[in-house]
Chain A
Amino acid sequence: MKNLKLLLIAAFSSFLFLAGCEDYLNVNDDPNNPTSAPAQGLLSNVTYETAQNTYRMGSVTSYYVQYLASPNSGSSTDTQEALSFNTQWFRLYDNLTDLSDLELLAEEEGATQLVGVAKILKAYNLGTLVDAWGDVPYSEAFFGETLNPSYDDQENLYNEIFTLLEDGIDQLQEENSTITAGDEDFIYGGETARWEQLGYMLQARYLNHLSEDASYDPEAVLSAIDNGFVANDDDAQVEYFEDQVNPWASVAIDNAGLILGGWLSEQTVEHLDGTTYGVEDPRIGFLMNTNDDGEYAGVENGAGRGTAPAAGAFSVLTTDTYYAGRTAPVLIATYAEQKFIEAEAALNATQPARAYQAYLDGIEAHMDKIGVDETDKNAYLTDPAVAVGEAGLTIDLIMKEKYTAMFLHPEAWVDARRYDYGYENMTVPANLNSDLNGEFIRRLVYPDSEEQRNVNTPDVSLLDRIFWDQ
C-alpha cells in the first residue's frame, strides 16, 4: 500500500509541478553565445575583418584593373559581367554593424579611443562600399529597425565619411579614455597616434577621390597629408598567422593544389617586365613567380590560358611572393599610397617640386616595403624612364607607379575609373560583356541577396558612374 501512496503522490505532484513550471521552462538563454560582447572583443574582429574586406574587394577589383586574370576563357569576372558579389556586400555590412555596436558601446563606456577607432574604420568600410556600389543603405541600417532600409545618396555618404573621420580624430585626441586598446587591435596594437595619422591619411584619400568633382580641393588633400603617415612603419595593415594564413596565400595554396586562382594578367606582367615601359621593374619578382621556363608570363584577361596546362605555363601568386606570403600583411592604407596621393594633389595644386619628390618617395617607400634591395631600387629610381625630373612628371607617370604600388588593393579600381582606365596599353578584356558596348565596367550591380530582400534596391547598370567618376 505504501507503494501506491507514493505513486499517487508522484502523480499529483507531477500536476502541481505545472504551477512552478515557468521557472522550469526558462532555459532559452543561449548558453553558447553571450547577449553582449566586450568592446575589446569587437575591436579584434573589426580590425581583422577590415583587412579581410580589403582582400575580398581586391579579389574582385584585381580582375577589373587587370592585376589578375582567370586561367579560364570567358571567366565572368574577367569579362566584367553583371555579377552578384553577395559576400563582399554582406561582409562590409557585417563589419559596419559591428563597428556601429562598438561605437555605441564605447560611447556608453566613455572609451573615447575606441569611439575614435570605430569611426575611422567605419569611414573606411563605408568608403569601400560606396566606391563600389554608390548609393547604399546607411542611415536606416545596422540596427534592424526596418527590414527594408532606404538608400542614402552617395554624395551625402561621402560627407558622412568626412564627418566620421573628423569626429574620429577628435575622439582620438581626447584624453582619459576609460578603455584603451592593446593587442586586441590587430592593426595598430592600440597606438592612438597612429590611428589619428590613419584618420588624416584616409581624409586625404577620400578628398582626392573627388579629383574630377567640382568640390575638389588639392590643398585640402595636402594639408590632411601633413598630419598623415610619415613612414612605412605607419602603414595600416594586418599581419597574418601560421594558423590563419593571409587570404591571398590561401589563393596561392589552392592554386598549387590545382584549385586555380591568383594568375597574373598579361597587363600587369607587361607593365613591369619592360614590355610597356622599356625598363624592368625590380618589384616584378616580389609580386609573382616565373613560369617553368623561368619567364614572367601573364594571361590575357577574358582569353584564358588556351591549351596550356593547369600549372607551369604562366606567372601566379605563390606563398614566396610578397603579397601572398603565409603570414604577409594585408595592406589597408600605406605610406606609399599616401605619397602618390600627395604627388597627384601637388601636381594639381601646381606644386611640381613637391609632386616629383612625393612620386619618387612613393616608389621608394613601396620598394622598401616589399624588400627590394638598395642597388635595384636605385637603378630603377635613376632610370631615365622613371627619373624624369620635376618638369617631366605627368599624371600618367604617377598613376603608372601608383598602379604598381597598389597591387591587389581595391583602391586601384577607384584610380582606374578616375583615370578612365588610361594606363598604357590597357584594353578591354577579350570576350567583354556585350552589355558594356566595348567600355570598361564603372560600378557593381547590387547583389542578388539585396535585390531579393530589400524593396528599395535601385536599378542600375554597370556603366552608371559613381559620382566622383565623371
Chain B
Amino acid sequence: MRKLLQLNFLLLFGFIILCFTGQALAQGVVSGTVTDADSYETLIGVNVLINELELGMPTDADGQFEFSNVPAGEYQLEARYVGFNTVERSITVEDGQETVVDIEMTVSTAELDELVVTSFGLEQERKALGYSVQEISSENLTIGNQSNVVSALGGKVSGVQVTNTGGSPGSSSRIVIRGINSLDPGADNQPLFVVDGVPIDNSTIESTGTPRNMSNRAADLNPNDIESVNVLKGAAATALYGVRAANGAVIVTTKGGQAGDTQINYTSTVGFDRVNKFPEFQDVYGQGFEFQNTPADGFWPNWGPRYEDTDAEYHDIWRDATQTGVQLDNSINISGGNEMATYYASVSNLQQEGVLPYGDWDRTSVRLSGDVAPRENFRVRSSINYVNSGGMRVLADRFMESMMYWSPNADVTDFEKEDGTMRGYYNDGSSGNNPIYQAKYWTYEDNVNRVIGNVTFDYNPAEWFNVLYTLGADFYSDQRTEIIPGPRGIEGENVVSSTGAIEETRINSRDINSTLNLTFQRDITERINTRLRVGNDIFDRDFNNVISSGNDFVTPLFYHLSNVRNISLNQQIRQRRLVGVYGDLLIDYDNFLYVNLTGRNDWSSTLPEDNRSFFYPSVSVGFSFSDIMDLPEYFTFGKLRASLSQVGKDAPVYSTSDTYNTPPQYPLDGRVGFTRSNIRGSEDLKPEQTTSLELGTDLRFFDNRLGVDFTWYQSNSKDQIFAVPISEATGYSEIITNAGEIENKGFEIQLTGRPVQMQDFAWDVTVNYSRNQSTVVEVAEGIEQILVGSSFGYVGSGASIQLTEGDPYGNIYGRSYERYYPEGEEPENPMYLDEDAPLLIGDDGFPVTNTDQLVLGNTQPDWIGSINNSFSYRNLNFSFLIDAKWGQDVYSQYDNFFTAFGITENTLDREDFRVFEGVTADGEPNTQEVWLGQGIGPDGVDYGAGYHRNVKRTVTEEFVFDASYIKLRNIRLAYSLPQNLISDIGFRNITLSATATNIILYTPFEGFDPESRAGGAGSNADGFTNLDYPGVSSFFFSVNLSL
C-alpha cells in the first residue's frame, strides 16, 4: 500500500526513482530500549536508524525498538531525538541472533555548537558570533498557519516589529528590525530577504490611487517549504551583504532532501477568518438629521429619530456586510535521496476568501530542489520555485466609506436590482453607494507569475580551501486589471461611476545575483585557527512597469481598452546594478575567543561616478568566558559579544541628474507637453553611512534548561540621501542631497527555558522583549519638518506624521482643543499637546479648537514582547503565543467618520446636556450648560449640526488613540496518532491540529483591530487606520500525514 502510494506521488511529480531494497539470506534481529541518561526514563518517538540499510523507526510508548530481518553484518546504529545528543553505536548482527542495544541519551548541549545560517547562507558556529542572530524553526514558523512568511515571524523574534495591514487575503505585512533607519519618507526600511543564499524581491507595489493591500512579494513563498528562518538584526550581522541589507536581513533556508527513505508529507488545512473586533455601534437612532427623517429617507444615515419612534427597522449592517472567510491550504512534498544525491519536491495550493465579500487570493507554488555530489569534494545544489499568486483585491477604503454613509434603516445585503444596477439606500434606492455592489463590480485583480531559481557549486579542492559559487534569478510578471463599471444605460440607474474606467498594469521585474566565495582555513598554531573568506557579489535589477488607463466606456459592460474614449499611458523603467567585493577574517583562539574582521567595498550604479565606490569595515568579538573560568555547576555556558560596524547605502535610482517630464494630462489632443522635473538631482551625492555598536551576552544555566540572551545596540545613520524640500522659486521643489541623521537605540532580551521536564511531559517557554527608541537627530539644514504621510479627517481634523529635529521618530500632528494658561504661564513645550492643562471653553459653552498642528501622539511602540509556551504530553502538544505591543498611537479615521455620521455608541449622548470641564477665557471654571444634539435644543438654543459634527469631529485630538494591545497570536493543540496504530498502515506520522490566531486579549483601542494599518507594507506612515481592512482572527483545522 505504502509503495503504491509512493509510486503515485512519484509519478505525479514526474520523478523516476530507483528503490533499493536489500535482500540477504542471513538475517537477525536488532532491538533495544532508549532512556534518558539523567532521569532513566524511557524516551518515546526516538528515531532509530540503521543508515547502511536505510532502515529507520521510532521508539514506541515504552521506548523500545525492534528491527527484524536485518541481514547479518556490521552496522552503525543511530538514535536521534530533538533536544538530545545523537548517539551512534557499532553493532554486529549475526544470523538468527537478537542483538540487544540499550541506548542512553543525554540532553543536548549541542545548541552551543549549533550552526546558524549567516550571510550568503553560510553556516557558522553560533558560539563564534559577535552579534545576535535569532533562528525560527520550521515548526515554529508554521504554527499559526500564516500564509505570509512575514506575518508568520510576528512575535517570534525580539527587536523585530511585524505589522499586518489588516485581514485582507494576500495582504502585505511589514517587517522592521530595530527601528527606522531612513528619514526619506519613501525609503524602504525593511530587511533584505535571502532564500538559500540568494536575495529575492520583497517589495510591495501598491495599486494606483488608494492602496488595496497588495502583497509583499515574500508572500509568494510557501511557508511549508521553509526549513528555518534566521534574522540578522544589526549591521555587524549583515556586514557582508552590504548596501542591500542595511536594514537587516531575513535568511530563509528551504527544506532539502535527506539521504534515506523517501519521505512524503501532506498537510491540509482549512481555516475560517472572522472580523476579530467590531466597534460598538449604536442602534438607537436611524436615518435623518436633527432627529427628523425629513425629507423622508435622505442622505444622512444616523442623525434621525429614534427607531422606537418610527416604523423603520434597524439592521446590523456591519456584521451583515462582512462574512466568514474560508481558506484552504494543501501542501505536499516528497524528499529523499542517497549519499550521492538528494531531492525535495513540493506542490502547494492556497485559496483564501476575505471577510469582505468578493475578495480572494490564491497561491500555487511548485518547488523542486536537488543536491548532487558528482565527486567527493564537489557538490551542486539547485532549486527552482514557480509561483502563481493573486486574486480579487477589494478596495477596503471604498467599501468602508460606503458603509459609513449606508443607513442601518436599509438592508445592506440587498444591493443589486434585477436589472443588474446598484440599489442605494436613499431616494428609493436610486442614491447612495452600496459597498457590496462596489466590491462585486469595481474589481482589481492581480496575477503574478514568478520563478525563483538558483544553482550553487560547492567545491573543496583541499581541506583548507573551499569555492562556493551561487547564481540566482528572481523573475516575475505581475499583471493587473482594474475595472470601474460605467453606466449600464438604464434609465435612472444608480451608477458607481458616470464614465467607468479600466486600468491595465504590466509589471516585469528581474533580479540576478551572482556570489562567489573563496574560503581558506588554516591552523596557525594548535590553538589559533583562522578562516579567511573573500568574495564577490553582483546584483542586477531590471524593472519595467507599464500602466495603461482608459476611461469612459463606449459600449456598456464591455470592459476592454479598445472600448474607451480616453486612454493614457505611464511607463516606469528602473535599472540598478551593484558590485561588491568583501573579505571576512575569523580568528579563533582556543575555541573560546573569536575575533571577526570584515570589510566590503561596493560600487553602485545609482551614485555619481566619482562617489560610486565606497568601503566599510566591521569588527566583532565573541568571548566564551565559561570555557576558561571556573563557574558554578548550574552555570552551563557564558559568552560576551561586542561588535562595531559600518554599512554604506546607495541612492535611489536616477537621483544624479535633472530631467524633463511629461505631466499626466498629456497627450492632450495630440500634443505632448514637457516640464522641468521638480526634483533636482545631485552630481555629488555620496553614500549614506550607518554606524552600529552592539553589545550582548548569551548565558545558559542548568544544562541549558534556562537561557538568557541580552543585546544592547545603538545605530546612527548619517548623510541620508533624500529629497529635501527647497524654495520653489529656485525652479525646483526638492533637491536630492545628503542630509540628516537618525539614531536607533535599544535592547533585546530573549529568555528560553524548559521549566518542567518529566518522562512524558515537557514545558518550554520562550520570552522576547525589546525596546527601541528612534530619534531624529538632525534634519537637513533649512527645513523644519519632513512629512512622512497624512490621513484625512473632516474639517481640518486630519493627522500627519512629521519628523522634527530632536524629536522621536513618528510623531503624529493635528488639531487639538485649546488649553487655558493663566497669564504669564506657557506650556512646557509649545509643540506638544499639554493634556493636563484645562480646556478653554468658548462663549458658546463648547471647547475651543486650536488649529495649530501639535504633537498628539507617536506611532512607535514603547516596547514589544511575547511569551511562547509549549507543553508536550506524550503525543499531545499544546502551545500558545501571547504577543504584546505597547504604547503606540494611531489616528483613527474610522472614529472621525463614526463621529461625523453618528454611527457608534459614543454618539448616544446626543440628547444630553453637558457642562464641559474646563475654564473660560477669564480663568473661571466653565459653568455653561450646553445641549449636544442638533437643531433647536430643549433650552431654545439653535445648535445647528450639533456637538458631534460642529465640535468633536473637527479636532484631531479626539481621534488619536493608544493602540496598545495584547494578543493571543496563536494557540494550538496538536495530537500525533500513536506510532503502533499508524505504522501498520504505513505512516510515519499523522498529526491533527486545531489552531486559533490573532485573538485580542486586551486593548484600550475602541475601533477594529488596533494592529491593522493602512498604506501597505511599503509605506512608512504606519500610524493611520484610514478606512482600511479590519483585522481578523482565524481558526484552523489541520491534518499532517507523513509516509
Q: State whether A30 touches B659 (Cβ < 8 A).
A: yes
Q: State whether B565 touches A48 (Cβ < 8 A).
A: no
Interface residue? B1038 (CB, 8 A): no
Q: Which one, A14, A25, A34, A35, contacts B516 given CB within 8 A? A: A14
Contacts A11-B467, A28-B606, A310-B299: A137 and B727 contacting too (C-beta < 8 A)? yes
Contacts A8-B467, A183-B671: A100 and B730 contacting too (C-beta < 8 A)? no
Interface residue? B757 (CB, 8 A): no
Interface residue? A10 (CB, 8 A): yes
Q: In chain A between 97 and 141, which residues have their CB closer than 8 angstroms to a CB of chain B?
A: 97-98, 100-101, 136-138, 140-141
CA distance A45 to B662 in the complex (A): 9
Closest to B782 in A: A453
Q: Which one, B669, B674, B730, contacts A141 given CB within 8 A? A: B730
| Chain A residues within an 8 Å CB radius of B603 | 18, 21, 25
| Chain B residues within an 8 Å CB radius of A141 | 729-731
Q: State whether B665 touches A7 (Cβ < 8 A).
A: no
Q: How many chain B residues have a CB neighbour from A under 8 Å?
A: 74
Q: State whether A14 touches B514 (Cβ < 8 A).
A: yes
In the assembled complex, how far is the CB of residue A311 from the closest CB belonging to chain B, in whole angstroms? Answer: 9
Q: In chain B between 598 and 620, which residues have their CB closer than 8 angstroms to a CB of chain A?
A: 603-607, 609, 612
Q: State whether B671 touches A184 (Cβ < 8 A).
A: yes
Interface residue? B524 (CB, 8 A): no
Interface residue? B675 (CB, 8 A): yes
Would you give the 0/1 interface string for B721-739, flagging 1 where the beta carbon is closer than 8 Å to chain A? 0000111111111010000
In the assembled complex, how far is the CB of residue B679 from the closest CB belonging to chain A, in whole angstroms? Answer: 10
In this complex, the member of B653, B666, B676, B677 whose beta carbon has the largest number of chain A beta carbons within 10 angstroms is: B676
| Chain A residues within an 8 Å CB radius of B676 | 37, 97-98, 101
| Chain B residues within an 8 Å CB radius of A183 | 670-671
Would you give the 0/1 interface string for A236-249, flagging 1 where the beta carbon is closer than 8 Å to chain B? 00000111100000
Q: State whether A36 touches B733 (Cβ < 8 A).
A: no
Q: How many chain A residues have a CB neighbour from B under 8 Å?
A: 71
Q: Which one, A25, A241, A450, contacts B577 given CB within 8 A? A: A25
Q: State whether A244 touches B605 (Cβ < 8 A).
A: no
Closest to B654 in A: A30
Interface residue? A146 (CB, 8 A): yes
CA distance A138 to B783 in the complex (A): 22
In the assembled complex, how far is the CB of residue A271 from the closest CB belonging to chain B, in whole angstroms? Answer: 29
CA distance A244 to B663 in the complex (A): 12
Closest to B299 in A: A310
In the assembled complex, how far is the CB of residue A37 from the closest CB belonging to chain B, in whole angstroms? Answer: 4
Closest to B725 in A: A453
Closest to A45 in B: B673
Interface residue? A449 (CB, 8 A): yes
Query: Which of A86-94, A218-226, A409-417 lies at the binding interface?
Result: A86-94
| Chain A residues within an 8 Å CB radius of B944 | 307
Q: State whether B673 touches A94 (Cβ < 8 A).
A: no
Q: State whether B727 touches A453 (Cβ < 8 A).
A: yes
Contacts A97-B676, A183-B671, A450-B728: A243 and B575 contacting too (C-beta < 8 A)? no
Q: State whether A148 touches B675 (Cβ < 8 A).
A: no
| Chain A residues within an 8 Å CB radius of B657 | 28-30, 35
Interface residue? B112 (CB, 8 A): no
Q: State whether A45 touches B459 (Cβ < 8 A).
A: no
Q: Which one, A24, A241, A452, contacts B579 given CB within 8 A? A: A24
| Chain A residues within an 8 Å CB radius of B566 | 242-243
Q: State whether B728 touches A449 (Cβ < 8 A).
A: yes
Q: In chain B between 451 and 470, which residues have their CB closer than 8 angstroms to a CB of chain A?
A: 457, 459, 461, 467, 469
Would you give the 0/1 interface string for A138-156, flagging 1 where the beta carbon is closer than 8 Å to chain B? 1011111111110000000
CA distance A288 to B92 in the complex (A): 105
In the assembled complex, how far is the CB of residue A14 from the closest CB belonging to chain B, in whole angstroms? Answer: 5
Would you give the 0/1 interface string for A26-67, flagging 1 where the beta carbon is closer than 8 Å to chain B? 111111111111100110110011000000000000000000
Closest to A86 in B: B728
| Chain B residues within an 8 Å CB radius of A307 | 290, 935, 944
Interface residue? A437 (CB, 8 A): no
| Chain B residues within an 8 Å CB radius of A98 | 674-676
In this complex, the member of A28, A48, A184, A452 whose beta carbon has the largest number of chain B beta carbons within 10 angstroms is: A28
Q: State whether A11 touches B518 (Cβ < 8 A).
A: yes
Interface residue? A460 (CB, 8 A): no
Contacts A32-B573, A36-B660, A98-B675: A18 and B581 contacting too (C-beta < 8 A)? yes
Interface residue? B678 (CB, 8 A): yes
Q: In chain B between 644 and 702, which residues have their CB closer than 8 angstroms to a CB of chain A?
A: 653-654, 656-663, 665-666, 668-678, 680
In the assembled complex, how far is the CB of residue B852 from the closest CB belonging to chain A, in whole angstroms? Answer: 12
Interface residue? B378 (CB, 8 A): yes
Q: State whether A452 touches B659 (Cβ < 8 A).
A: no
CA distance A28 to B603 in the complex (A): 13
CA distance A100 to B731 in the complex (A): 9
Closest to A30 in B: B654
Q: Which one, A3, A35, A45, A454, contacts B659 given CB within 8 A? A: A35
Contacts A147-B735, A307-B944, A450-B729: A3 and B378 contacting too (C-beta < 8 A)? yes
Interface residue? B572 (CB, 8 A): yes
Closest to A73 in B: B944
Interface residue? A186 (CB, 8 A): yes
Interface residue? B571 (CB, 8 A): yes
Binding site for B on A (CB under 8 A): 3-4, 7-8, 10-11, 14-15, 17-18, 21-22, 24-38, 41-42, 44-45, 48-49, 89-90, 93-94, 97-98, 100-101, 136-138, 140-149, 183-184, 186, 241-244, 258, 307, 309-310, 449-450, 452-455
What would be 7 A-B contacts, judged by CB atoms less than 8 Å apart? A100-B731, A142-B729, A149-B727, A242-B565, A243-B552, A243-B565, A452-B783
* Known A29-B654, A44-B666; 12 more pairs at CB < 8 Å: A14-B536, A18-B581, A28-B607, A33-B677, A35-B657, A41-B673, A44-B672, A98-B676, A149-B729, A183-B670, A449-B725, A452-B785
Binding site for A on B (CB under 8 A): 290, 298-299, 374, 378, 457, 459, 461, 467, 469, 514, 516, 518, 536, 538, 551-552, 565-566, 571-573, 575-577, 579, 581, 603-607, 609, 612, 653-654, 656-663, 665-666, 668-678, 680, 725-733, 735, 782-785, 935, 944
The 8 closest A-B pairs by CB, nearest first: A45-B673, A37-B674, A41-B674, A33-B659, A137-B729, A243-B566, A454-B727, A44-B673
